[in-house]
């Protein structure tokens, strides 16, 4: 049976068996007697929710509902005009909602949405309560936070879930009990509409006993507020707050939007009318379709300052692209929570999204309470959300005067920044109550966060229209408090638009409120990136669009066709190989998918039957001629191609196709056609019969008709019965005055493989003939961005396989249009590579064998010819160098030698003419002068303040001896003692002391050997220091003085020589180097000035000649690649493509000519088949060479009972020549064949 409910969000929770010890009610007994899984087959909606326009309309509701058999189940006290109605069995909830919405006085009506709990089983036993505290510090730091606050009992958190075990040992102290209700007296004491609602209510079973018969709600409650410091169980995040239960989830894990709305209304009433301080609700459920009435109920909580903490869901999807509810609603009081594991990485199952998910929290292997005083590990975003709900309670207890938004900021925009969460959740953070760097919810200081608060972003972008004003508001907060005095700039498409301000100017409504604003006029069509300077993760996209196309009514053009049947199941989408691309209004479609449910998509399969309003919120390229829940079993979907390339067309014919639900009668069918063209950017739709008498579905009443491209859409209708029978429409693109348009933007050539050149063609036209259009940029998706390339063909080579988004921007007088296409570049298959290698080698061998046939010369011959020509030129130059303004090396050397010798002879003969002195004279004069000076100094040293060496040594020796004699003779004058006296005195004193010690040793406690040695050493040291201090007293000279005197004497001599080097037959080093340098420079100048004289060529001339030769050779090679064993790249790639196609064609021809060689039986012509062949086949497997329709086989296969076929796509399918056996095939649940595809095995049963 087909499920009409929404898609299941997560896997089924394993059966949780538990025992409830306390007998509280029949519901408790039921919970304890059977294991209840949190998931099972999802139920169907059985009620609708109606919102009346006013009380007067509501009072006459009976006239509307009675004819349909609806029964009112519930009215709400605070959700004005909203009621719940049960639907009778003969109607579906969807059908009842559509019918009810058309009644006078009804504002809206919708089927109740089915929601599920968002938990996943987990058998890995992490350390208990790792989410609150663990050794790796990957927790929320609850113990540190508890030193600040543990909450208080005046704070109440509402748990909207499967109920709570309010008798659980670890929960009972913190379970809220209604102070205004007397238990079990059967009276509604507090007048809130519920009798004996002591612990809350149960909207699923319509009673006031919210006991948990599933376990999910109890687990959630324990994470929020299990009691701490009671020596049992666990501790919740906020162990001192109260929890109140509203049960709307069944024992099987399902609940409805009607039940959830009632819970919200109940909590709202308790807060507003009974002074119960409910500050937030935890909502660990979701996965349903969008419900506007549920959203309205959540908004009512926003007005009452009640936060709505929601689990993001467990489908591993991006909620920005594929929103699930209630997490993806845009109410300001919603905090959407993803799950992280103990490594603080996003859990594998967790949903994500930068716009629709705010924060992440622990959600894997979470240990908490379950009914019956038990505990268990669960995983899921269901477990992450209560961590945040508990955190919100702690924030509220610490900052009771903060606004709702400030409190939400402290749990959703501060915390631990996680690299793994960037681009995954809005804040990029995981929950932290306390951190060392003061970025926790309870100890936040200097933690800046920025959020684009408007426009509201969807999938990271905003939709607007060209020439419209767009206002961007950036919220800047520090720990939830607005920050002023900052500077920010807005850039769109890489160009600065302007500065944001918080001064109350222009678009900024309020000065100094931390909201920085800018308004600007959108001057483009398409999607352009926008960035704000100084903001982390600041890229968003502006999608400026008009309706991309329009539906024009035209003359009725339906054609009767006999097309190729398309074998397709309900809910299936199938790729159609037409052999050519079709031109849709906004682009060419290469891979066309057709859905059984009246929808066509480009490049991806989409077969889902529930229709939806456009745009669908994605970048898809989709045409919806009649999107409804259809069933093609007893009708036919076919296609027919006509015309010649490039003007072919294809007609897709939906003939007598049934609606799937709720009836199967022959009247519930529709017929329409879709016509697409190869070269005309239009789609034609011909509606023949859309009438379903008496049904809301008739003429589009439950369908969507429209066209969507890259988030832009035109919608002809959504659930409106406005289509007439026998009408036709043309769908074509829309142009905007003043903006250019793309005539063509597509991949037009090349091979989509890495390393192969691909050709993109971009053509555009201006809005008027007087204007011009230019291609401003082309982003090729691999980091290559071309600025201002010419329109037309643009070639590019991708180095790696992948999917690349190509974006072109055209402009006319400052008005721009962006458009993007996606291309797939795949690696070469092994077969393609083999073919390429084969063709390449074959081509190379052929060209190499006869290069002259291709106007080429072999490399070896080329090298020989070049060498010969080069040698001839060299010989010519050598023979006649003067003709080339050259001189032979021999002549150059000879002339240089002669000239050099002549100059040398001239200089040597007359050195004085060149201010030179001959070496002999120089040496003689130097020697004479030096000797004379030496003689003069030696003879009279005193004239030069010198002392002869002999006199100096004699005087030094005399003075030293005199001093020594004086000291020795009179040592006491120098406070010295002679060695003999010193030794005698020491000996005498030592002997006296020894005698004294020996005589009285106890008075001296003796002296150890160590001290004795130390005293001796000290005496020795004193003697050494005495000698060193006065060496002259001991006929000594200190080492330093000796070295100083020697150095002084040596330095004096050196200075004398250096000052007068000529006196010592020397030349100074400076003079020598200068003379050498002068001579060397003169020679270098001579050579540089006349390089030819030395058989040289200047570097500049050499470089120029080499470059000219190289350029000439390159030009020669490029002009004549074949002369060098080369092939032009374009020719090479074309040859490869031709070779690949030829190999495919040859293989197909080979199979067609000799199918038996490949184990095939060719049955593509009836003339080859006769009764004998059929008899011989009996039972067995056979293959077809081409597709075979079965409509003409009844007689031929008369003796056959069934034909069975199996493909991966279809599974088992069957066909029989008679209707009775065909009915058996359908009754067995198999698809009925209309043709046997080519190359697929089939079984014949007699």
CATH code: domain of residue 788 = 2.60.40.10
Give me the chain's average pLDDT, please: 79
What SS3 class is residue 116?
strand
In this structure, are 522 and 562 located in the same domain?
no
Domain tally, the chain: 8
Are the C-beta atoms of residues 216 and 161 closer than 8 Å to each other?
Answer: yes
Render pLDDT for 1132-1170 as a digit per residue (tens, 0 to 9).
666 666 666 665 566 555 555 554 444 444 443 333 334
Three-class SS string for 890-954? HHHHHHHHHHHHHHHHHHHHCHHHHCCCCHHHHHHHHHHHHHHHHHHHHHCHHHHCCCCHHHHHH
Residue 1124 banded pLDDT, cuts 50, 70, 90: low
Are the C-beta atoms of residues 117 and 285 closer than 8 Å to each other?
Answer: yes
In this structure, are 137 and 213 located in the same domain?
yes
Distance CA 1213, CA 763 (A): 48
In this structure, are 981 and 1031 located in the same domain?
yes
Render pLDDT for 593-604 as a digit per residue (tens, 0 to 9).
999 999 999 878
How many percent of the chain have pLDDT more than 90? 36
Q: Which residues contact 643 (CB under 8 A, 6 or more apart)?
A: 649, 678
For the segment 96-121, the average pLDDT, to the nearest whole number, is 75
Of the residues 139, 170, 216, 671, only one is catalytic, namely 216
| Tokens standing for residue 762 | 């971009």
Which among 675, 677, 693, 695 is positioned nearest to 685, based on CA atoms?
A: 675
Whether residue 1117 lies inside any domain: the answer is no
Render pLDDT for 771-782 as a digit per residue (tens, 0 to 9).
999 999 999 999
| Residue corresponding to tokens 């300077």 | 533
- Residue with the bigger pLDDT between 846 and 39: it is 846
CATH code: domain of residue 276 = 3.40.50.200
Domain boundary, last residue among 83, 111, 139: 111
Are the C-beta atoms of residues 315 and 351 closer than 8 Å to each other?
Answer: yes
Whether residue 379 lies inside any domain: the answer is yes
Render pLDDT for 190-249 as a digit per residue (tens, 0 to 9).
999 999 999 999 999 999 999 999 999 999 999 999 999 888 889 999 999 999 999 999
Range of the domain at 664: 549-733
Domain boundary, last residue among 733, 765, 787: 733
Are the C-beta atoms of residues 473 and 517 closer than 8 Å to each other?
Answer: yes
Three-class SS string for 412-448? HCCCEECHHHCCCECCCEECCCCCCCCCCCCCCCCCE
pLDDT at 25: 43
Whether residue 1067 lies inside any domain: the answer is no
Render pLDDT for 740-795 as a digit per residue (tens, 0 to 9).
988 888 888 888 899 999 999 999 999 888 999 999 999 999 999 999 999 999 99
Query: HSE of 434 in the Cβ direction (CA atoms, 13 Å)?
Result: 15
Residue 1175 banded pLDDT, cuts 50, 70, 90: very low
- Bridge partner list, 795: 759
CATH code: domain of residue 517 = 2.60.40
Render pLDDT for 385-444 as a digit per residue (tens, 0 to 9).
999 999 999 999 999 999 999 999 999 989 998 888 888 898 889 999 998 888 898 988
Are the C-beta atoms of residues 798 and 804 closer than 8 Å to each other?
Answer: yes
Distance CA 203, CA 207 (A): 7
pLDDT at 1176: 44
- Residue with the bigger pLDDT between 404 and 58: it is 404
Are the C-beta atoms of residues 1135 and 839 closer than 8 Å to each other?
Answer: yes
| Tokens standing for residue 1175 | 């008899």
In this structure, are 328 and 251 located in the same domain?
yes
Angle at 467 between CA 463 and CA 472, to 5 degrees: 50
- Determine the angle formed by the axes of helices 404-412 and 381-398, rounding to 10 degrees: 130
- Residue with the bigger pLDDT between 658 and 249: it is 249
Is the pLDDT at 174 greater than 90, yes or no? yes
Whether residue 413 lies inside any domain: the answer is yes
State the burial class of residue 89 (Cβ atoms within 10 Å of its Cβ: 0-12, 13-18, 19+). exposed
In this structure, are 393 and 297 located in the same domain?
yes
Distance CA 647, CA 642 (A): 9
Of the residues 161, 202, 358, 628, only one is catalytic, namely 161
* CA 56 from centroid of its chain's CA atoms: 53
Is the pLDDT at 1 greater than 50, yes or no? no
Whether residue 372 lies inside any domain: the answer is yes
Are the C-beta atoms of residues 1238 and 1205 closer than 8 Å to each other?
Answer: no
Distance CA 203, CA 215 (A): 17
Are the C-beta atoms of residues 363 and 119 closer than 8 Å to each other?
Answer: no
In this structure, are 493 and 401 located in the same domain?
no
Domain boundary, last residue among 390, 415, 445: 445
Whether residue 577 lies inside any domain: the answer is yes
Q: How do strand 587-589 and strand 582-584 relate by DSSP bridges? A: antiparallel
In this structure, are 152 and 78 located in the same domain?
no
Are the C-beta atoms of residues 1221 and 1200 closer than 8 Å to each other?
Answer: no
Q: Which residues contact 131 (CB under 8 A, 6 or more apart)?
A: 139, 140, 223, 361, 362, 363, 366, 387
What SS3 class is residue 575?
strand
In this structure, are 183 and 260 located in the same domain?
yes
Q: Is the pTM of this model over 0.85?
A: no
Distance CA 253, CA 116 (A): 6
Is the pLDDT at 906 greater than 90, yes or no? no
1208 is catalytic: no
1221 membership: H or E segment, kind and range: helix 1219-1227
* CA 34 from centroid of its chain's CA atoms: 46
In this structure, are 195 and 219 located in the same domain?
yes
382 is catalytic: yes
In this structure, are 107 and 181 located in the same domain?
no
216 is catalytic: yes
Whether residue 374 lies inside any domain: the answer is yes
Is the pLDDT at 129 greater than 60, yes or no? yes
Distance CA 35, CA 537 (A): 47
In this structure, are 50 and 102 located in the same domain?
yes
Of the residues 382, 695, 728, 777, only one is catalytic, namely 382
Whether residue 906 lies inside any domain: the answer is no
Residue 967 banded pLDDT, cuts 50, 70, 90: confident
Q: Which residues contact 1081 (CB under 8 A, 6 or more apart)?
A: none
Would you put residue 869 in left (φ > 0), alpha (ψ -120 to 50) or beta?
A: alpha
Render pLDDT for 907-928 as a digit per residue (tens, 0 to 9).
777 777 777 777 777 777 777 7
For the segment 615-639, the average pLDDT, to the nearest whole number, is 85
In this structure, are 622 and 678 located in the same domain?
yes
């Amino acid at each position: 049976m087909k499920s009409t409910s929404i898609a299941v969000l997560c896997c089924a929770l394993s059966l949780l068996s538990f025992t409830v010890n306390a007998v509280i009610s029949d519901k408790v007994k039921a919970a304890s007697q059977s294991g209840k899984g949190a998931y099972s087959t999802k139920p169907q909606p059985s009620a609708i929710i109606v919102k009346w326009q006013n009380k007067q309309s509501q009072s006459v509701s009976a006239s509307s509902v009675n004819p349909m058999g609806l029964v009112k189940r519930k009215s709400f006290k605070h959700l004005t005009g909203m009621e719940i109605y049960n639907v009778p069995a003969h109607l579906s909830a969807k059908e009842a909602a559509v019918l009810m919405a058309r009644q006078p006085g009804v504002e809206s009506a919708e089927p109740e949405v089915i929601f599920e709990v968002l938990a996943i089983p987990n058998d890995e036993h992490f350390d208990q309560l790792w989410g609150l505290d663990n050794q790796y510090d990957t927790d929320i730091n609850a113990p540190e936070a508890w030193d600040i606050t543990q909450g208080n009992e005046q704070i109440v958190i509402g748990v909207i879930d499967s109920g709570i075990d309010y008798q659980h040992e670890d929960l009972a102290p913190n379970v809220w009990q209604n102070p205004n209700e007397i238990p079990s007296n059967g009276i509604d004491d507090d007048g809130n509409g519920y009798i004996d609602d002591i612990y809350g209510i149960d909207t699923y079973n319509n009673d006031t006993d919210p006991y948990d018969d599933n376990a999910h709600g109890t687990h959630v409650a324990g994470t929020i507020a299990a009691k701490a410091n009671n020596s049992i169980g666990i501790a919740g995040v906020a162990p001192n707050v109260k929890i109140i239960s509203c049960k709307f989830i069944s024992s099987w894990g399902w609940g409805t939007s009607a039940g959830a709305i009632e819970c919200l209304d109940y909590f709202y009433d308790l807060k507003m009318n009974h002074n119960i301080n409910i500050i937030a609700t935890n909502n660990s459920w979701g996965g349903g379709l969008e419900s506007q009435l549920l959203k309205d109920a959540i908004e009512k909580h926003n007005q009452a300052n009640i936060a709505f903490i929601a689990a993001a869901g467990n489908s591993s999807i991006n909620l920005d692209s594929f929103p699930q509810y209630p997490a993806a609603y845009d109410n300001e009081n919603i905090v959407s929570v993803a799950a992280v594991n103990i490594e603080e990485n996003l859990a594998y199952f967790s949903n994500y999204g930068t716009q629709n998910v705010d924060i992440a929290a622990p959600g894997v292997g979470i240990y908490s309470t379950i009914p019956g005083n038990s505990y268990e590990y669960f995983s899921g975003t269901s477990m992450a959300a209560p961590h945040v709900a508990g955190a919100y309670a702690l924030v509220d207890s610490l900052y009771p005067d903060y606004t709702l938004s400030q409190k939400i900021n402290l749990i959703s925009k501060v915390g631990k920044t996680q690299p793994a969460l960037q681009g995954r959740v809005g804040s990029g953070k995981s929950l932290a109550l306390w951190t060392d760097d003061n970025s926790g919810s309870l100890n936040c200081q200097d933690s800046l966060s920025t959020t684009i608060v408007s426009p509201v972003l969807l999938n990271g972008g905003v939709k607007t229209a060209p020439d419209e004003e767009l206002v961007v508001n950036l919220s800047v907060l520090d720990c939830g408090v607005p920050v002023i005095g900052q500077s920010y700039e807005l850039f769109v498409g890489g160009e600065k638009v302007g500065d944001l301000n918080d001064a109350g100017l222009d678009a900024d409504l309020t000065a100094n409120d931390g909201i920085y604003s800018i308004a600007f006029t959108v001057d483009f069509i398409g999607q352009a990136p926008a960035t704000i300077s100084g903001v982390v993760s600041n890229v968003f996209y502006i999608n400026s669009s008009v309706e991309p196309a329009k539906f024009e009514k035209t003359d009725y053009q339906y054609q009767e066709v006999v097309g190729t049947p398309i074998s397709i199941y309900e809910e299936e989408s199938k790729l159609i190989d037409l052999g050519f691309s079709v031109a849709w209004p906004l682009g060419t479609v290469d891979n066309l998918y057709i859905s059984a449910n009246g929808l066509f998509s480009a490049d991806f399969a989409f077969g889902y039957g529930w229709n939806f309003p456009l745009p669908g919120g994605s970048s898809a390229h989709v045409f919806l001629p009649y999107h409804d829940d259809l069933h093609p079993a007893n009708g036919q979907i076919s296609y027919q191609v006509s015309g010649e390339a490039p003007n072919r067309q294809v007609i897709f014919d939906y003939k007598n196709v049934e609606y799937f639900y709720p009836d199967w009668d022959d009247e519930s069918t529709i017929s329409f056609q879709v016509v697409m063209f190869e070269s005309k950017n239009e789609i034609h739709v011909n509606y023949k019969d859309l009438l379903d008498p008496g049904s809301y579905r008739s003429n589009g009443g439950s369908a969507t008709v429209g066209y969507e491209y890259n988030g832009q859409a035109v919608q002809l209708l959504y659930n409106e019965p406005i289509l007439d029978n026998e009408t036709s429409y043309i769908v074509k693109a829309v142009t905007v005055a003043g903006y250019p348009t793309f005539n063509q933007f597509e991949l037009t050539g090349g091979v989509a493989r890495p390393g192969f050149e691909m050709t993109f063609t971009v053509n555009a036209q201006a809005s008027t003939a007087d204007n011009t259009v230019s291609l401003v940029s082309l982003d090729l998706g691999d980091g290559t961005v071309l600025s201002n390339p010419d329109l037309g063909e643009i070639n590019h080579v991708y180095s790696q396989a992948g999917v690349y988004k190509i974006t072109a921007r055209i402009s006319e007088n400052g008005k721009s249009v962006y458009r993007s296409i996606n291309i797939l570049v795949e690696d070469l298959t092994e077969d393609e590579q083999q073919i390429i290698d084969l063709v390449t080698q074959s081509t190379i061998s052929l060209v190499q064998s006869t290069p002259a046939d291709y106007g080429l010369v072999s490399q070896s011959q080329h090298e020989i010819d070049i060498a010969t020509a080069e040698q001839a030129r060299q010989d010519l130059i050598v023979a006649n160098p003067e003709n080339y303004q050259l001189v032979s090396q021999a002549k150059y050397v000879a002339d240089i030698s002669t000239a050099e010798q002549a100059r040398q002879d001239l200089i040597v003969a007359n050195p004085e003419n060149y201010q030179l002195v001959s070496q002999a004279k120089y040496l003689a004069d130097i020697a004479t002068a030096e000797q004379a000076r030496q003689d003069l100094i030696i003879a009279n040293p005193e004239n030069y303040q010198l002392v002869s060496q002999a006199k100096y040594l004699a005087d030094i020796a005399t003075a030293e001896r005199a001093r020594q004699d004086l000291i020795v003779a009179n040592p006491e004058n120098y406070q010295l003692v002679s060695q003999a006296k010193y030794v005698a005195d020491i000996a005498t004193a030592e002997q006296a002391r020894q005698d004294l010690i020996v005589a009285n040793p106890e008075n001296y406690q003796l002296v150890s050997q160590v001290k004795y040695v130390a005293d001796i050493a000290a005496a020795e040291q004193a003697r050494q220091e005495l000698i060193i201090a006065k060496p002259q007293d001991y006929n000594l000279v200190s080492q330093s003085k000796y070295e100083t005197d020697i150095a002084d004497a040596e330095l004096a001599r050196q200075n004398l020589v250096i000052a007068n080097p000529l006196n010592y037959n020397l030349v100074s080093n400076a003079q020598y180097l200068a003379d050498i340098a002068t001579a060397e420079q003169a020679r270098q100048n001579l050579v540089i000035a006349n390089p030819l004289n030395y058989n040289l060529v200047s570097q500049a001339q050499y470089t120029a000649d080499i470059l000219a030769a190289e350029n000439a050779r390159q030009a020669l090679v490029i002009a004549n690649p074949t002369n060098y064993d080369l092939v032009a790249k374009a020719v090479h790639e074309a040859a490869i493509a031709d070779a690949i196609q030829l190999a495919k064609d040859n293989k197909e021809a080979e199979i067609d000519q000799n199918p038996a060689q490949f184990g095939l039986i060719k049955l593509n012509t009836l003339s080859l088949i006769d009764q004998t062949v059929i008899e011989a086949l009996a039972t067995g497997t056979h293959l077809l060479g081409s597709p075979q329709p079965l409509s003409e086989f009844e007689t031929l296969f008369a003796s056959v009972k069934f034909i069975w076929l199996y493909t991966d796509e279809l599974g088992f399918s069957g066909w029989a020549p008679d209707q009775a056996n065909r009915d058996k095939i359908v009754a067995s649940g198999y698809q009925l064949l209309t043709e046997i595809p080519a190359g697929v095995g089939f079984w014949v049963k007699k």
